[in-house]
Structure 1
Amino acid sequence: MLKAFTQKKLSNTLPFVYDYLLSLPPDYNNNNSVRWPLILFLHGAGEIGSPIDKVKTHGIPKLVQSYSTGLFDDVNQECARFVTEKFITCSPQVRRSYGWNVQVLKSLLDELEQDYRVDINRIYVTGISMGGYGAWSLAMSSPHRFAAILPVCGGGDCSLVKCLSHLPIWVFHGKLDDVVPVEESEQLVKRLEREEQGKCQLTIYPTLKHDSWTDTYNNLEIYCWLLKQTKETQK
């Protein structure tokens, strides 16, 4: 179900490209008139560098892989089915350097929109830890590209976050996180709450440390919430 690709270098200005894992819903080829929502998943620092299969360790690609193999372990089976059957998913991998390059990610999204039947009104980005920072940063650099974002135990630049006041955002963090302090998420949410039309909500797990992603991605509610968000309903 998950296939590995290398991003095309659509522009000579790109410093590099990403390898990525892609999944298409099982019914993707049944009707060529249907466009599908897309989840872009950004991994954490632990998954930097080859092989690409390291990206399957957590989050969205872990769900799709579990659906494909029928081996669920600590994966919620209903979530795995829902994500795999209702979304196109893309999970790129940082090869060497620390952090996500938003220019390269935007080019990757351009490629996906060009090559696949992506519903451009329902593109979502989520990520964990380093990928949580990446999700915030990517959204701030393209504030009107996404229908919603879902950062997990990340953080970002509070001076820039105002541009996301129109965007539905659901933030997750462990209260006891000793890698990325929970204040990193709290300060972004508080800044957005100052905006009259802010659409940001924060879930803090009182007993969790850095791994707040396992509980988050095993929650069917987040995927139902994502599907309710579309750029067409944003003000």
Structure 2
Amino acid sequence: MNKIFFTLVFLFSGLIINAQDLKKYDRGSFIKGQDSIYYRILFPENFDPNQKYPIVFVLHGRGESGSDNEKQLTHGAKLFLKDEVRKNFPAIIVFPQCPLESYWANVNITTNDKGKRHFSFTEGGKPTKAMHALKNMVKNFLKKPFVDKKQVYVGGLSMGGMGTYELLRRKRKTFAAAFAICGGDNTNNIKKYQTVPLWIFHGGKDDIVDPAFSMAIAERLKTVGSEVKFTLYPDANHNSWDSAFAEPALLPWLFGHKRD
């Protein structure tokens, strides 16, 4: 009985510690005209507003959409809280949250009678309401004197991976490098972000977003792009972000790129 009690105490303590750590991400919002978007932001330790820092925008998946300004920290946020990451890669980390009624990417989603979703990605087209707000939020951040415009990065998972491709093509001269996890795009859009170094991840057994989307983008970029890395986890399902965020080379690769 005592063993069970102490195990429960240990687990509960771990949950409290994790929740407290995530509170290091300050709450913020960008509201201008018709644009409205909430975000959480982590500043480097010993932040000095007179210095310039890299900035990373991380886009969550559909399951973390909403207006609580909290759920978007579910995947990936703890990576940037690690002591060694904060020490070796002092950067500003931003997790915006997509409203439930919108979507990061301009994609048509249909579901068959077996519950299987089909994604049809738009070539060109107008941005969604969430993407329009995100675009202008990024623009606003780049006006801050403490943001290094040569080191601006974006990455995302699932819907956020789709949003990553879309943001890259809508702000093609902004990002030094990007990563996309289990996302997708219309391959005709690739020419608009082919010069951005990109690391693509996907699970080989993904039954939500077909890995063929990532494969097609990677293969196309290998012929026309400047730099692309593709990692397929053969036994991973849709949650390939667990493996991607655990990649020891991800952050050194990302921060190793700078715009001219």
| Matching residue of 2:144 | 115
1:155 and 1:82, CA in 2 relative to 1: closer, same or farther beyond 3 A?
farther
Residue 26 of structure 2 is matched in structure 1 by 3
Percent identity over paired residues: 29
Q: Which has the higher strand share?
A: 2
- 2:186 counterpart of 1:157: yes
Does the Cα contact within 8 Å between 1:153 and 1:182 map onto a contact in 2?
A: yes
Shift of 1:50: 3.0
Match of 2:60 in 1: 43
**1: CA distance between counterparts of 2:96 and 2:85?**
19
Q: Distance in 1 between matches of 2:137 and 2:62?
A: 20
Q: Take 2:28 and 2:98, find their aligned partners in 1: how far apart are those partners?
A: 13
The aligned counterpart of 2:249 is: 221
List structure 1 segments (4+ residues) > 6 angstroms apart after TM superposition.
none
Change (3 A) 1:177 1:147: same
The amino acid that maps onto 1:136 is Y
Amino acid at match of 1:42: L
- 2:56 paired with 1:28: no
Asked whether the equivalents of residues 45 and 98 of structure 1 are also in contact (C-alpha less than 8 Å), the reply is: no
Shift of 1:139: 0.1
Cα deviation for residue 225 of structure 1 reads: 0.5
- The partner residue of 1:140 within 153, 156, 169 is 169
Structure 1 length-normalised TM: 0.84
Contact persistence 1:140–1:164 (CA under 8 A):
yes
RMSD: 1.8
Output the CA distance in 2 between the equivalents of 1:90 and 1:210: 23
**5+ long unaligned stretches in structure 2:** 1-23, 105-129
Counterparts of 1:92 and 1:188, CA distance in 2: 25
| Number of the residue aligned with 2:21 | none
Residue 74 (structure 1) aligns with: none
Q: CA deviation at 1:23?
A: 0.9
Q: Please state how far the C-alpha of 1:79 moved relative to its aligned partner.
A: 6.1
Report the Cα offset of residue 91 of structure 1: 0.6
User: Does structure 1 residue 96 correspond to structure 2 residue 100?
Assistant: yes
Of the candidates 70, 95, 108, which is equivalent to residue 53 of structure 1? 70
Aligned length: 212
Ranked by relative contact order (alpha carbons within 8 Å, sequence separation 6 or more), the top structure is 1
**Distance in 2 of aligned mates of 1:145 and 1:41:** 15
- Indicate conservation of the 8 Å contact 1:8/1:111, yes or no: no
3-state SS of 2:142 partner: helix
User: Which whole-Å deviations, capped at 9, do the CAs of 1:173-232 have from their partners, x for residues lacking one?
Assistant: 00100000100111111121221x531111000110000111111223110011111111
1:66-117: per-residue Cα shift (whole Å, max 9, x none)? x3xxxxxxxxx4665458x511011110122241133211211122122351
When the two structures are superposed, what TM-score results if normalisation uses the length of structure 2?
A: 0.76
Query: Is there any run of 5+ residues in structure 1 with no aligned partner, and where?
Result: 68-76
Secondary structure at the aligned position of 1:123 is classed as strand
Structure 1 counterpart of 2:212, from 174, 180, 183? 183
In the TM superposition, what is the alpha-carbon distance from 1:127 to its structure 2 partner? 0.3
